C-alpha cells in the first residue's frame, strides 16, 4: 500500500542517521535512482510517524525515496491537505481504523496529476484530483496510487474546499439524508454548532429550506459567534446556559419541533439536543468533544420514543460507496463555489507544519481548521 512509508527511506532513519544527514543521503540516492528510470515519482517530502503517541512529538517531516509509477498508477503532486481531528487521533493510536506504523499522516486533500502510468485513462497531467473515497497518507508532496483512487474535480473549486470536502461536509450531508426524511420547513437541532460539520449542517440545511436550532458552549464573545452562525443561515442559536429553563421547546418560537438532532459533544450538550427533539425524533452522535458520555432517561425511550444512532464517515465509506461519494463531492463543491458552503480555514505552508499542528492540537486556543499547503 502506498500509505506505508517507503522502506528504503525508513531504514535510513532507523539506522540512527540524523534527519539532516538522512535527507542528504536520500537526495543522493534519489538522483541515482532517477538516472536509470523514467517511470519513477519525484522524491516526496512527508509527515511520518514511526509509533503512536502525541502528534507533536512522534511526527517528523522526512524525504521519501521515489517510487515506481506502474501502468495503472497516477502520481499526484499534492497541493493542500487539512489536519482533521481524526488525523490526530490516528497518530495518537486511539482511532479504531488507522494505518500500520510507520505511516504518513493525513486522510484527505487535493492535488494535481504529475504523471500517469501507461494504462491510465481519463486522467492527464495537470488535472485537479482528490482521493475519493479518502485514503491514508495525504500529508506528503507526491503520492503514487492506483488510478481508481483519484477523482477529478472542477479546477475552479477553491483549493482549500477541495482539500476538505470529503470529511466534514460529506459527514454533514450524509447525516442530513440518512436518518430521517426532512422536508422544506422541517427543523433540526445540533450542539457543537461552531464545528466545521456544524457549520456545514446549518448551510446545507438552509439550502434545502430546513431550519436549524443550534447550541453552542458558553464562552466570551458568544454574541459574536451567534451572529456568525446566523449569517450562515442558523435560525436559532443558544448557549448551553440559556437552555437552563424548564421547557426548552418554549424557546422555539415559530420553529417546528426538530425531528432530527446531531450531537458531537456528549454530556449536558447531548441532553439538550434530546430535550429539543419531538416525539419519535432521532439523535445522531458523530463526536464527543466533551469526552463525557451520553445519558438518557428511560422515559425518553419509552414515552418519547426517541432513537439514538451514530454516524462514522469512515465506516460509511468502507461500504462500496465510491461512486455515490463522488456525486456528492460534486454537489458539495458546487455549493462551495457558489458561496453557499463556507467555513473558516487557515492555510499554512508545509514548512510550518508543526505550527499548524500545534494550532490543530488546540495549543493556541480556538483556531480555524488548519490546511497544509504543499
Q: Which residues contact 282 (CB under 8 A, 6 or more apart)?
A: 179, 180, 259, 260, 261, 306, 307, 308, 309
294 binds its own copies (CB under 8 A): yes
CA distances from 49 to 14, 137, 195, 206, 316 (A): 12, 11, 27, 41, 26
Candidates 62-70, 104-112, 195-203, 289-297; binding stretch for its own copies (CB under 8 A): 289-297
Residue from 201, 306, 317, 341 touching its own copies (CB under 8 A): that is 306
**Are 210 and 176 within 8 A, CB to CB?**
yes
Nearest to 143 by CA among 167, 109, 98, 101: 109
Size of the site for its own copies (CB under 8 A): 28
Q: Which is nearer to its own copies, 14 or 315 (CB)?
A: 315
Candidates 39-47, 66-74, 239-247, 302-310; binding stretch for its own copies (CB under 8 A): 302-310
Residue from 185, 209, 256, 293 touching its own copies (CB under 8 A): that is 293
What does the chain come to in residues?
374
Residue from 296, 347, 355, 361 touching its own copies (CB under 8 A): that is 296
State the DSSP string of 169-221.
Answer: HHHHHHHHHHSS---TT-EEEESSTTSHHHHHHHHHHHHTT-EEEEEE---TT
Task: Write down the least CB distance from residue 66 to its own copies, Å.
Answer: 37
**Are 153 and 110 within 8 A, CB to CB?**
yes
Cβ neighbours of 209 (radius 10 Å): 11
Residue from 19, 154, 227, 295 touching its own copies (CB under 8 A): that is 295
Q: Which is nearer to its own copies, 82 or 267 (CB)?
A: 267
Task: Write down the least CB distance from residue 234 to its own copies, Å.
Answer: 24
Candidates 74-82, 122-130, 198-206, 300-308; binding stretch for its own copies (CB under 8 A): 300-308
**161 given a catalytic annotation:** no
Q: Which of 49, 95, 331, 343 is labelled catalytic? A: 95
Q: Which is nearer to its own copies, 63 or 87 (CB)?
A: 87
- Show the cell assigned to 339: 458561496
Residue from 164, 190, 195, 300 touching its own copies (CB under 8 A): that is 300
Task: Write down the least CB distance from residue 198 to its own copies, Å.
Answer: 16
Binding track over 42-81 against its own copies, x by CB under 8 A? ----------------------------------------
Q: Which of residues 311-370 bind its own copies (CB under 8 A)?
A: 311-312, 315
Nearest to 333 by CA among 205, 79, 162: 162
Residue from 227, 305, 318, 364 touching its own copies (CB under 8 A): that is 305
Note the Cα 137 to chain centre separation in Å: 13
Q: Which of residues 238-277 bind its own copies (CB under 8 A)?
A: 266
Residue from 68, 93, 125, 301 touching its own copies (CB under 8 A): that is 301
CA distance 91 to 103: 9
Host H or E run for residue 269: helix 267-276
Candidates 42-50, 128-136, 239-247, 279-287; binding stretch for its own copies (CB under 8 A): 279-287
Task: Write down the least CB distance from residue 295 to its own copies, Å.
Answer: 5
Instruction: Count CA atoms closer than 13 A to 278's CA, side-chain side.
Output: 12
CA distance 167 to 134: 8
Nearest to 288 by CA among 85, 104, 112, 140: 85
Helix axis angle for 222-232 and 196-207, nearest 10°, is 40
Task: Write down the least CB distance from residue 93 to its own copies, Å.
Answer: 14
Strand, coil or helix: what is 57?
Answer: helix
Q: Which is nearer to its own copies, 72 or 314 (CB)?
A: 314
Catalytic residues: 95
Give the footprint of its own copies on this chain (CB under 8 A). Answer: 96, 266, 284-288, 293-312, 315
Amino acid at each position: 500500500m502506498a500509505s506505508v512509508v517507503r522502506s528504503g527511506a525508513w531504514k535510513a532513519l532507523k539506522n540512527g542517521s540524523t534527519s539532516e544527514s538522512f535527507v542528504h543521503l536520500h537526495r543522493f540516492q534519489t538522483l541515482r535512482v532517477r538516472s536509470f528510470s523514467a517511470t519513477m515519482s519525484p522524491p516526496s517530502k512527508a509527515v511520518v510517524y514511526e509509533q503512536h503517541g502525541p502528534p507533536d512529538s512522534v511526527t517528523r517531516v522526512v524525504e521519501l525515496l521515489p517510487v515506481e509509477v506502474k501502468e495503472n498508477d497516477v502520481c499526484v503532486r499534492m497541493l493542500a491537505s487539512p489536519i482533521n481531528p481524526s488525523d490526530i487521533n490516528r497518530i495518537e493510536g486511539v482511532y479504531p481504523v488507522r494505518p500500520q506504523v510507520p505511516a504518513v499522516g493525513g486522510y484527505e486533500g487535493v492535488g494535481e496529476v504529475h504523471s500517469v502510468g501507461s494504462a491510465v485513462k481519463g486522467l492527464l497531467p495537470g488535472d485537479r484530483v482528490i482521493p475519493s473515497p479518502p485514503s491514508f497518507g495525504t500529508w506528503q508532496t507526491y503520492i503514487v496510487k492506483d488510478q481508481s483512487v483519484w477523482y477529478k474535480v472542477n479546477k475552479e473549486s477553491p483549493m482549500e474546499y477541495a482539500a476538505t470536502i470529503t470529511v466534514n461536509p460529506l459527514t454533514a450531508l450524509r447525516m442530513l439524508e440518512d436518518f430521517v426524511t426532512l422536508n422544506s420547513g422541517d427543523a433540526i437541532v445540533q450542539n457543537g454548532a461552531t464545528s466545521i460539520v456544524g457549520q456545514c449542517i446549518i448551510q446545507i440545511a438552509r439550502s434545502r429550506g430546513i431550519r436549524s436550532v443550534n447550541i453552542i458552549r458558553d464562552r466570551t464573545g458568544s454574541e459574536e459567534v451567534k451572529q456568525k452562525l446566523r449569517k450562515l443561515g442558523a435560525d436559532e442559536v443558544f448557549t448551553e446556559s440559556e437552555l437552563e429553563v424548564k421547557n426548552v421547546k418554549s424557546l422555539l418560537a415559530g420553529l417546528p419541533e426538530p425531528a432530527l438532532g446531531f450531537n458531537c459533544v456528549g454530556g449536558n450538550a447531548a441532553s439538550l439536543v434530546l430535550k429539543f427533539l419531538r416525539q419519535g425524533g432521532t439523535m445522531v452522535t458523530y463526536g464527543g468533544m466533551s469526552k463525557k458520555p451520553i445519558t438518557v432517561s428511560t422515559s425518553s425511550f419509552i414515552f418519547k420514543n426517541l432513537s439514538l444512532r451514530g454516524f462514522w464517515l469512515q465506516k460509511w465509506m468502507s461500504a462500496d460507496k465510491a461512486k455515490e461519494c463522488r456525486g456528492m463531492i460534486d454537489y458539495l463543491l458546487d455549493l462551495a463555489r457558489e458561496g453557499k458552503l463556507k467555513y473558516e480555514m487557515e492555510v499554512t505552508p508545509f514548512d510550518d507544519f508543526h505550527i499548524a499542528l500545534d494550532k490543530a492540537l488546540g495549543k493556541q486556543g480556538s483556531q480555524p481548521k488548519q490546511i497544509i499547503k504543499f
